[in-house]
Structure 1
Amino acid sequence: MFAIIDIESSGGNPKKDRITEIAIFIHDGEKVTEQYCTLINPETYISPFITALTGITNEMVAEAPRFEEVADEIDSLTKGCVFVAHNVRFDYSFVANEFKRIGRRYQRKNLCTVRLSRALLPDLYSYSLGRLCEQVGIPVEHRHRAFGDGAATAELFNVLLQNDTYAIIQDALKDEIKQSILPPHLRREQLEDLPEETGIYYFRDERGKILYIGKSNNIRQRIISHFSGDMNTEKYHTLKQKIHSITYELTGNELVALLLESHEIKRWMPAYNQSQRRKKYRYGIYKETDALGYENLKISLLKLEGEPLFAVGSKRGAESILESLAEKHKLCLKKCDMEHNNETCSFHDIDVCEGACAALEDAVAYNEKLKIALIKYQYDNPDFVIVGEGRSPVERAVICVENGQYLGYGFFDEATEQSYNFDQLKELVKPFPDHPDLHKIIRSFIKKNKKGQQVVYR
């Protein structure tokens, strides 16, 4: 059975915007057998732009049922059905997030009529719903309303079924969890019940001991990919034989998942995790100013000095980093703790160093080069929080760094914390141990400036 669905919404972001109308057409593979349509009160403002596009006004939805009032009917009507839509990720994400908002999970197989149309009706000039229907002779009434677009999609689905001489639709619906790829001691239901959400997951043995920890923006899909393709080596074949259960923890966004994954790997040291196992860093890179005003970098054992610019696992690793920085930014090897003789440095001899070792380069200019070189290893401001998506559409996550130290993360209800004040948000954070690996993750995320995250400085 297929549930052909179209929704209208208050905007284009399924995590923030809300459904204003939904239409469902139940199809048995030959014809539509049942249909359902209702306006939905989105409990948010519908902008004039959206009203101009859909014709749905704030007045029209004021007395309509809220999603939670029709959720049971939608869930029951589509249970056991394949979720079909034109650009299915859009409609499916909105429906799944509406269920998530009321504390329920909604999980269905997906089928996209855009992708199917490209495969079964090649060489058309456009695959937008309106243009596509025009090309295959399907009339569309009430465009950009859920019932009109849904009815057109149902007619299009009939056309696709008629043209599917090579069973492309059936291939698209093939069981993604083949029994042959499952670990022998893992129940199929465990995989089927995994969420399609962001978080970390644990592979455990028969006693519950953690064998492996991973993270993903889609836990279910990532774990299926592990078993279907990632575990072809002898080592991972052995892991597969040992897995008896899978547990997970949702994090809401990728940054929290990365931080928690790194913390948990160091905490439990799973045998099958190779990276991020280092618990302690032995060396630090420190900065000091000499008598001529040049800022020098120094490699030293941690705890022998004050706070380092950043920590490094080994002395050789520190030397490799400093040599690379010196070459890229034309720094002096002597002032990077790499050479200690009375001569000019070897980089000066090949015109890389611009003469700081012989006091030929202005100290202010040299220090500015060093500052630029160190940007990737330091924060612009040592006190900040990062606010991002939470585990539900009404929740936000907060990650806190104070005095350059990672304090931890927490979650809060968006409705209760309207102002993002550093000190208030800091109080919401659950404490976690600091570690240099975590700062690499945080700096990388800030640099990427990912959509949906906000950095708040003290």
Structure 2
Amino acid sequence: MLYAVTDIETTGGYASANGITEIAVYIYDGQQIVDSFESLVNPHQPIPRFVQSLTGITDDMVQLAPSFEEIAPRLFELFQGKVFVAHNVNFDYSFVSHQLQQSGYHLNCKKLCTVRYTRKIFPKLASYSLGNLCRHFEIPLYNRHRAAGDAKATVQLLELLRKNDVNNHLHTMIGKQSKEQYLPLHLNKEDIDQLPLTPGVYYFHDAKDKVVYVGKAIQLKKRVTSHFSNNKPTKQKQEFQRNVHRISYQQCGTELMASVLETIEIKRLWPKYNRAVKGYEAQYGLYLFEDGRGYYRLGIDRKHKNVPAVYQFYSRHEGTLELKRLIQEFELCNKLCFIDRSTDRSCEHPQCKGACTGEELPTDYNERVEQAVAQLRKELPSFAIRERSYFNGQDSCILMEDGRFYGMGYVPAGFDVSMKDELRKQLQEYPEYDFVRNIIKRYALDQPEKVIWL
């Protein structure tokens, strides 16, 4: 077996917007280096000053160096049929494969990360950085943060690891079925292996154990693994790979429960890499107030944080249509509902009985407004969704009361969910969000056989 031990220096941390400034590849056959390639590379973009300080590679040094496209044929030839080896392999591989693809070549190699390999052979070391490992194992390391120096040290580290690999971890790590090399550098494979194949919510934690991403799954193990099935060169993907250090999870009885809990947890934790659900809330409300003349007024307005709305809508148009329906059905005044904004004293609409001009008494008009509001609230349903739980032998149950999400949990198979007071005691109460409400209502429409109306 031949290993292409590789190290690169770059202009930045992710491949899609940065370039390679230096590359070194040593072909190692398990005993000795049998071929090699070293070169500075012109990235055709400025090298940031802090990178120049770290590597010692300046813009002047790479000005006359070949572009990656010029050396791509030689590199592609070197990598063919080899195991691509690097210290933190996903970083180097993402750059090299991206640059080769830009040059018209498709790289498809087995990968081996010497950080992960070292953890297998020598667990519980204080640090797995290349510099600290070289000091610990007394491996010579010349020209630190230069491609050739780091790659040569990685060859010697690989040799040391192979000699001490009494359990043949190498064979497992680069085997056809192994996906370990795609995992984030700091995430243990054991964390993935112990995940159940049931619905649930999973949490990715960073180095400080802060949750940076929350997701939901029909099968936890399968979904989490899918996050790392590719190594895209984008900034978000590369940042994500670097920042994931640990995974935790909560099992859920059903996919619906997982969807609800995911939204609640995103709202609670506000993770860095979750975006879509954060801003998905109803933006408008139907508001009721009494004016100076004693008439009740209904109107659509943007949601007010501390003023409860009679009803909520995702758009002004949706709210206006609903208000017009109430006006028609309960003979309300277009002017008093802010539908007719003309300067005329009378709204001149046939259903209006003169409230806008004072011809109809406030008590008579207000009674119909109250009827309209009561009708609207009556249309807000109370129901439970009951399903068999995947993992604990009980039934999952989600409760909606008067159109609002109350909570969810588990009940014994013979429990009568129509007893609302008793049902509440069995469930955990959760915060109520528009997005959660929408998920549950949509599910109730799609799965009416699982809905118990209360």
The TM-score, its normalising length taken from structure 1, stands at 0.46
The TM-score, its normalising length taken from structure 2, stands at 0.47
